[in-house]
Amino acid sequence: MGRLDDKVALITGAAGGLGRQTAIRMAEEGAKIALVDLNVEGGEETKKLVEEIGSKSIFIQADVSKSSDVQNYVKKTIEEFGKIDIFFNNAGIEGMVAPVEDYDEDEFDKVIAINVKGVFLGLKYVLKEMKKQGSGSVINTSSIGGLVGHENFIGYVASKHAVSGMTKDAAIEYGKHGIRVNAIAPGPINTDMVKNAAHKHNPDNPQEYYDLVTSLVPSRMIGEPEHVANLVTFLGSDESPYINGAIIAIDGAMTAI
């Protein structure tokens, strides 16, 4: 028996990184999975990995910043599985690395569209379905950048603070309907996003970024996607009924300093 037997999980940003690893972890616990991403090739690969475990799944291509795409992925999930028990509202981008004065306006708009509007739209249309059911668990992906500042990441930090705020608001509004809304706030995790940040920091020596970041983590390590997947799976399960409105750091104590 798995912790998520008979549950349906909807995961955005499922083509890789935290989304893919969480899909795998939830499949291991018995969940049926609806996978959402703009990247078809990566999404289909995640679907293959999930189905090899024995989980039923579907993949839906979507741009999370477009209302019609979000409504479609919610509709397709309900049509296929009849409900949404867990929503990992995870899709996001890191944006450019630059001081505020040099940060490109179009790039800022793009980060806000995906990281803020995308999360908002997911909440808007998934919570409506969960309200009908009278139950559900939403896990938004914020960041330690949604708790503290981070030099040269104005767009990302702004967007993730917004995610943390939306999480608290939705938790207050929907707790009475049997729905929990929490957010995870990962520190440095060994995903493509961190690899991209390392290359942007120093294209000639990306390892410099890893060494710098590791030195700033009291646990002296960079986290792995599996660590985050375990936390998200716990928050999606029935083992966390009184956790609502929380922004949970998973960062090796970086924000404890």
Residues labelled catalytic? 156
CB 163 within 8 A of CB 157: no
Rounded Cα–Cα distance for residues 233 and 69 (Å): 25
Assess contact for 97 and 152: CB atoms under 8 A. Answer: yes
The amino acid occupying position 183 is A
Q: 138 vs 7, 60, 94, 237, CA distance in Å?
A: 13, 19, 22, 11
Asked if 178 contacts 241 with a C-beta cutoff of 8 angstroms, the reply is no
Quote the CA–CA distance of 105 and 219 in Å, as a whole number. 36
Contact (Cβ atoms closer than 8 angstroms) between residue 217 and residue 254: yes
Count of positions (residues) in the chain: 257
User: How many helices (H) and strands (E) are present in the chain, helices listed first?
Assistant: 9, 7
Asked whether 245 and 167 are in contact (CB, 8 A), the reply is: yes
Q: Which residues pair with 32 in a beta bridge?
A: 8
Contact yes or no for 170/181 (Cβ under 8 A): yes
Distance CA 31, CA 86 (A): 9
